[in-house]
A = this chain, B = another copy of it.
């Protein structure tokens, strides 16, 4: 019985995700669902990404957090339109939350919508929000065993960012092993090695995003 209802919840979610996807397509907005553990560096990456792309495409951001508007305040300082969703304890964003948030956005005026999901390497990967593609941020300090331990999120993501690469010398993270596991799980996944402290990899990442939006 629990399983059945779970399917109904996901069914209802998928229906609204399809509606979201249709609206995004009609307005010509590309949507990225950005996921990763708490503290993997999603918001800082987003700040750097916005600074890099601001003069090239028109971006808006939806921030997902359990509580607080800390992340939205940071993004707002970048001069970008941002909507904060508070899930009040919920462990992921779902399609109805995105639908509701988009009612406050002027989609006709943007090319690219970035949705920063709740910090969680498990649940967000299970919920379609109507995005065009997903990306996952894994920080070097989390360890190279994470792709095999949390496979779904890496299978679902078109890009994986090995972030905080500047901390590599202070950890036992095995880059080659992580890369091999990622491509075993998802042979076409695009891997970036990034650092928001040194700026490493950010130009490649932003160029890739630009290619996704401008194609």
CA distance A141 to B118 in the complex (A): 17
Do B141 and A39 touch (CB < 8 A)? yes
Partner of A121, one of B38, B143, B150: B38
A142 at the interface (CB under 8 A from B): yes
CA distance A5 to B122 in the complex (A): 22
Report B-chain residues with C-beta under 8 Å of the C-beta of A68: 145, 148-149
Which A residues between 1 and 38 are near B, CB-CB below 8 angstroms? 1-2, 5, 9, 37-38
Do A123 and B123 touch (CB < 8 A)? yes
A164 at the interface (CB under 8 A from B): yes
A116 at the interface (CB under 8 A from B): no
Chain copies in the assembled complex: 2
Partner of A170, one of B37, B126, B150, B170: B170
A89 at the interface (CB under 8 A from B): yes
Report B-chain residues with C-beta under 8 Å of the C-beta of A166: 170
A99 at the interface (CB under 8 A from B): no
A152 at the interface (CB under 8 A from B): yes
Do A66 and B119 touch (CB < 8 A)? no
Which A residues between 121 and 136 are near B, CB-CB below 8 angstroms? 121-123, 126
CA distance A173 to B18 in the complex (A): 40
Q: Which residue of B lies closest to A125 (CB)?
A: B89
Q: List 13 A-B contacts (CB under 8 A).
A: A37-B142, A39-B142, A66-B150, A67-B149, A67-B150, A68-B149, A70-B148, A91-B122, A119-B146, A120-B120, A123-B123, A139-B141, A141-B141
Interface residues of A (CB under 8 A from B): 1-2, 5, 9, 37-39, 65-68, 70, 89, 91, 118-123, 126, 139, 141-143, 145-146, 148-152, 164, 166-167, 170
